[in-house]
Structure 1
Amino acid sequence: MQYDFDYIIIGSGFGGSVSALRLAEKGYKVLVIEKGKWYKSDDFAKTNWNLPKWLWMPSLRFFGIMKMSIFKHIVIISGTGVGGGSLVYANTLPVPKSSFYKSGSWSELEDWETELKPFYEKALIMLGASRNPKLFDGDIALKKLAKDIGREDQFEHPDVAVFFGKAGEKVKDPYFEGKGPERAGCNFCGGCMTGCRYDAKNTLDKNYLYLAQNFGAEILAENEVYDVYPIDNKDGSTGYKVFTKSSTKFFKHQKEFTAKGVIFSGGVLGTIKLLLKLKTKSLPLLSDKLGDDIRTNNETLISVSSLDKSKNLSKGVAIGSLLHTDDNSHLEIVRYSEGSGFWKLLHLPLSNGKNTPTRLLNMAQQVLKYPVSYFKIYFVNSWSKSTTVLLFMQSIDSTLKFKNNFFGGMASAVSTGLKPSAYIPESIELTKKYSKIINGVPTSFALESIAGIPSTAHVLGGAVMGKDSMQGVINKNNEVFGYKNMLVIDGAMISANPGVNPSLSITAIAERAMAQIPFNTETKL
């Protein structure tokens, strides 16, 4: 049979981008379908007050790079656009600790720490990992905290996907022997998460996707896949039909493609939502484990606004330092560029308690105790210049479940262990200490303060690995149980809690999955 493509990849994030390059290198005809827009450096919002270019909310005609999804148990921040989460993530590329490889549904399938080591090394090279060379006010305060709690040796400059050349100076591609795009040195403006406007951030459109296009891969942006079904045989042995519709136009302009194989790489929210829908009709052989083992990094996001006008907490890369606070936890400093103060509209005084009335009472007490401080935060100080976000993460495990809801979307439910919580005592204690160092006042996302619903930028799982369809959705090579030439390669495949930013791990596992696929012997040279 003649197919339009050998492989269609749904999503252009870390898993999809790796897949596109490696398949194209091996002689396959590849199409990448991306729901979001294609952003060039000048297209990104200057600040996050430019909501149409920063937020993805199609119902309001906002087609930006960041999406917020609110569920009963969690608020999830994710990325959209050609390059997926790399457009909006904070650049950090940590390798997880050994416990990651020895827990979860995948633990018995391989010696993962040994198996993945060369692929982590390859991923670090491809993503242009460099040690952050400079500390700024927010980082220096974290270093002071490290000393105060007796863990100064656990403070570090992280590896980040940033080009540290001469600030603002354009140079020929420094990574791929001139085969990549021009780059410019980082100016430490702190704008990584609203989209780098200076060509310093190593987003996927500047490495994997760029090189994939050089090998002939095609990218179709602003299209959303709504159906995938086997052409003839029930298991997809003779290929698939893939149906798309416009994600940005009023008229949907539906398209149809055929492919021998399909790779789901839309991130947890994209992949799991689509697969749950398809399981009810087009792909009924999908494992009943689909949607299970949804994880976060057991994290909190707490903002601390300094009242010291001499400090500029917006300077630096998005995450320029981190502190390992114990064997299972670490704390990172996160920043936005000066002028990006939209978040303050969604933040309330930090408040904890077992129920909403208690939290509201605690919040009122905080405001009454420090009225001038909170007035300055919301009405006087430049929010991003005076504020740092403390990202606290743990490798301690808890899981949720995603399932279809009555309205055709997804709903969350508690699975095993305790449900994610916005109240982690260790995080609160560290926040108090850090606030004292910078003469700051803490706030948090409104749903955390009012409803106790935590936020995360690291949702994982839902299509985890297992030895069979009773224990997972995919096997150790990312192949979907029940179907031929179908893979899941994105955050949904992560089968344990890494406790750190998962982007590097997704990249490494994607590299391994692609290494299992042979060269296309049918390619005409």
Structure 2
Amino acid sequence: MSRGRAASPADGDTRRESGVDVDVVVIGSGFGGSVAALRAAEKGYRVLVLEAGRRFEDADFARTSWDLRRFLWAPRLGCYGVQRIHRLPDVVVLAGAGVGGGSLNYANTLYRPPRAFYDDPQWRDLADWEGELAPHYDTASRMLGVVTNRCDGPVERAMQGAAEDLGVGETFRRTPVGVYFGRPGETVDDPYFGGAGPRRTGCTECGNCMVGCRVGAKNTLVKNYLALAEGLGVEIRPMRTVTRLGVVPGTEGPDGEDATYRVLHERTGPVGGRDRQVVTAARVVVAAGTWGTQTLLHAMRDVGELPRLSERLGSLTRTNSEALVGAMTEHAPAGVDLTRGVAITTSFNVDADTHVENCRYGKGSNAMGLLATVGVPGGTGRPRWREFLAMVARDPEPLRRMLPTTRRWSERIVVGLVMQSRDNSLQVSGRRRFGRPGLTSTQGHGEPNPTYLPQGQAAMEVLAARLAAATGEYTVAGGSWPEVLDVPMTAHFLGGAPIGASPAAGVLDRYQRVWGHPGVSVLDGSAVSANLGVNPSLTITAQAERAMAFWPARGDADARPRQAELLREREPAGV
């Protein structure tokens, strides 16, 4: 294997003195990895970021979701876009890819979570999470440019009317979003960081946030954290897939402290094993997204590279108790544009646990319509596919009038994103697929992970009635084909590396270091230890900001307790 270069020739002497190629390797460049890269660089560390996806300039994003090579992530098919789709037995996962991770195709929506998140028994006794995270939510909001959505139109009015019809009108609100509104289409010098960031262009409300913002208005991580990190000398290497992470033999102490780590990475592509390189570091931040992080950690524990990893790995994997539903018109309504605005503009709460948002794609972005069908009730005690067949047999008209669902789909639908803060989870474990590491799932702790949310169905039926009144079009509540098979879809795959008081209780300590391997930190959605009930991006960012705030400046002593001391803190008196 060849040795990867991660620093300039000028610092070669420093590298030889420290015995590692770089101080910190960050695996992934999403919300957690980008925070780690910037904050570590600010503290003087030499940082290398390895990202499996490609780098996009604004003009590189797909014009519509039918440009599959630029939209879909499927390296075996030659597609290196922003949209990942993964399948587990219990859920279909939508995730992001590329330099900037999920910020490239997320819906810009940056909510703070409800109280239930902080009160989850998994972690509530380890810290005053609400108090400790509050200043870091403030920092994350400033860095990501959070403002209240300004877009308004027929969709937003239908959402407000639906909330009122359900008797929860007081919960209706416009979403907090990370978008530069400015003057539509006008490009200006960086308005956020005193000119240190890239130039920005005002939002044109094209609706294609989740395909990739070609305008330059979306506050993706390449516009803030990563841009500033690169300004401090951080190297970001795209199209590099990490396949192995472990301890350099003979470098760690008896409690796993003070180890040197080695990271094997290769060129991303349809065939593995090309251009393999190894880089060594004193610290590693794993932030490859919940799917990527869990895949890597499960594989490394199984092959003995990270043998101290907790048996709790994969537990408390969350889906945000989520459903993707919608309200769909038969035709694209004349004179009513459902695509105008940013991706998510409004929300309301059906009940204390259930949060509903409207989502949209821009004109022409109809590929996700392949997953759409009419809504199918659940909770009847028999499989939903049987309910679907019985429903169509009784009345085939709704399905007939919606087909084909890809026909001007984005102009006909208001997608409903339904999330809950309830305590349900999956248990995820590693497995090999086609010779490569993969994941599988079973039901986990708490309530069963829901395959049907009656609150979401009720909300979409009311929204469909409002939409029909506004457009004059025949309208039905919609769902997805995976959910017909009792497999829900989620855009918020979280957890699996929960924070816990000990290795028996969690994978990470309260500083988000891996129990048993404290030189490895996990700073992405897999460290979110409870269902949020709202979009997770701001929370992932805030948790990462908090974790990085504990890192000492390079060369200073680390004031955090060693993990052996953390365990002794929780031993009963007399032990």
Q: TM-score, normalized by length of structure 1?
A: 0.96
CA contact (8 A) 1:240 1:261 kept: yes
Paired position in structure 2 for 1:79: 96
Paired position in structure 2 for 1:343: 368
CA apart distance, 1:372: 5.5
Paired position in structure 1 for 2:564: none
Could you say if the C-alpha distance between residues 61 and 77 of structure 1 is closer, same or farther in structure 2, counting changes exceeding 3 Å?
Answer: same
Structure 2 residue 452 is matched with structure 1 residue 415:
no
Residues 78-477 of structure 1 aligned to structure 2 (within 5 Å):
78-231=95-248, 232-234=250-252, 235=256, 237-248=258-269, 250=271, 252-280=274-302, 281-307=304-330, 308-353=333-378, 354-365=382-393, 368-370=396-398, 373-375=401-403, 378=405, 382-407=408-433, 408-439=437-468, 440-449=475-484, 451-477=485-511
The answer to which of 279-288 and 338-347 deviates more is: 338-347
CA apart distance, 1:348: 2.2
Identity over aligned residues, as a percent?
38
Q: Tell me the distance in 1 between the aligned counterparts of 2:370 and 2:518.
A: 48
Q: Secondary structure at the match of 2:86?
A: strand
CA contact (8 A) 2:78 2:270 kept: no
Q: Tell me the distance in 2 between the aligned counterparts of 1:378 and 1:84.
A: 29
CA contact (8 A) 1:268 1:459 kept: yes
CA contact (8 A) 1:318 1:334 kept: yes
For residue 47 of structure 1, what is the amino acid of its counterpart?
T
1:512 counterpart (540, 546, 554): 546
1:462-493 Cα distance to aligned partner (Å, 9 max, x none): 11111110001111101111113211110011
Could you say if the C-alpha distance between residues 371 and 462 of structure 1 is closer, same or farther in structure 2, counting changes exceeding 3 Å?
Answer: closer
Paired position in structure 1 for 2:515: 481
CA apart distance, 1:247: 0.9
Q: Tell me the distance in 1 between the aligned counterparts of 2:76 and 2:314.
A: 26
Q: Tell me the distance in 2 between the aligned counterparts of 1:346 and 1:296.
A: 18
CA apart distance, 1:176: 0.3
The answer to which of 322-331 and 105-114 deviates more is: 322-331
Aligned residues: 520
CA contact (8 A) 1:135 1:321 kept: no
Q: Tell me the distance in 2 between the aligned counterparts of 1:434 and 1:325.
A: 12
Q: Tell me the distance in 2 between the aligned counterparts of 1:192 and 1:31.
A: 28
Q: Tell me the distance in 2 between the aligned counterparts of 1:294 and 1:255.
A: 31
1:337-387 Cα distance to aligned partner (Å, 9 max, x none): 011111222222222343155233245237623366224x637x5211121
CA contact (8 A) 1:303 1:388 kept: yes
For residue 516 of structure 2, what is the amino acid of its counterpart?
G
CA contact (8 A) 1:352 1:452 kept: no
Q: Tell me the distance in 2 between the aligned counterparts of 1:305 and 1:474.
A: 43
Structure 2 residue 22 is matched with structure 1 residue 5:
yes
Could you say if the C-alpha distance between residues 253 and 162 of structure 1 is closer, same or farther in structure 2, counting changes exceeding 3 Å?
Answer: same
Q: Secondary structure at the match of 1:193?
A: coil
Q: Provide structure 2 residue ranges, at least 5 long, that are not aligned to the other structure.
A: 1-17, 469-474, 557-575
Q: Tell me the distance in 1 between the aligned counterparts of 2:121 and 2:84.
A: 28
CA contact (8 A) 2:372 2:405 kept: no
CA contact (8 A) 1:229 1:240 kept: yes
CA contact (8 A) 2:427 2:444 kept: yes
Q: Tell me the distance in 1 between the aligned counterparts of 2:390 and 2:101.
A: 39
Could you say if the C-alpha distance between residues 480 and 248 of structure 1 is closer, same or farther in structure 2, counting changes exceeding 3 Å?
Answer: same
When the two chains are superposed, the root-mean-square deviation of aligned CA atoms in Å is 1.7
Q: Secondary structure at the match of 1:370?
A: helix
Q: Secondary structure at the match of 2:210?
A: helix
Question: Could you say which structure has the larger radius of gyration?
Answer: 2
1:196-244 Cα distance to aligned partner (Å, 9 max, x none): 0000000001100000001111101101111111112353624111100
Q: Tell me the distance in 2 between the aligned counterparts of 1:164 and 1:270.
A: 33
Q: Secondary structure at the match of 2:24?
A: strand
Could you say if the C-alpha distance between residues 273 and 104 of structure 1 is closer, same or farther in structure 2, counting changes exceeding 3 Å?
Answer: farther
CA apart distance, 1:336: 0.1
CA contact (8 A) 2:326 2:479 kept: yes
For residue 286 of structure 1, what is the amino acid of its counterpart?
L
Could you say if the C-alpha distance between residues 221 and 366 of structure 1 is closer, same or farther in structure 2, counting changes exceeding 3 Å?
Answer: farther
Q: Tell me the distance in 1 between the aligned counterparts of 2:400 and 2:119.
A: 50
CA contact (8 A) 1:13 1:82 kept: yes
Could you say if the C-alpha distance between residues 406 and 366 of structure 1 is closer, same or farther in structure 2, counting changes exceeding 3 Å?
Answer: farther
1:70-100 Cα distance to aligned partner (Å, 9 max, x none): 1110011000100000001001110111111
Q: Tell me the distance in 2 between the aligned counterparts of 1:106 and 1:206.
A: 33
Q: TM-score, normalized by length of structure 2?
A: 0.88
Q: Tell me the distance in 2 between the aligned counterparts of 1:242 and 1:236.
A: 18
CA contact (8 A) 1:73 1:419 kept: no
CA contact (8 A) 1:190 1:314 kept: yes
CA apart distance, 1:315: 0.8
Could you say if the C-alpha distance between residues 292 and 226 of structure 1 is closer, same or farther in structure 2, counting changes exceeding 3 Å?
Answer: same
CA apart distance, 1:393: 1.1
CA contact (8 A) 2:259 2:519 kept: no
Paired position in structure 1 for 2:49: 32
Q: Tell me the distance in 1 between the aligned counterparts of 2:454 and 2:355.
A: 13
Q: Secondary structure at the match of 1:59?
A: helix
Q: Tell me the distance in 1 between the aligned counterparts of 2:396 and 2:354.
A: 33
For residue 494 of structure 1, what is the amino acid of its counterpart?
V
Q: Tell me the distance in 1 between the aligned counterparts of 2:287 and 2:344.
A: 25
For residue 226 of structure 2, what is the amino acid of its counterpart?
L
The answer to which of 353-362 and 90-99 deviates more is: 353-362
1:259-280 Cα distance to aligned partner (Å, 9 max, x none): 1111100011000110000001
Q: Tell me the distance in 2 between the aligned counterparts of 1:392 and 1:129.
A: 22
CA apart distance, 1:446: 1.1
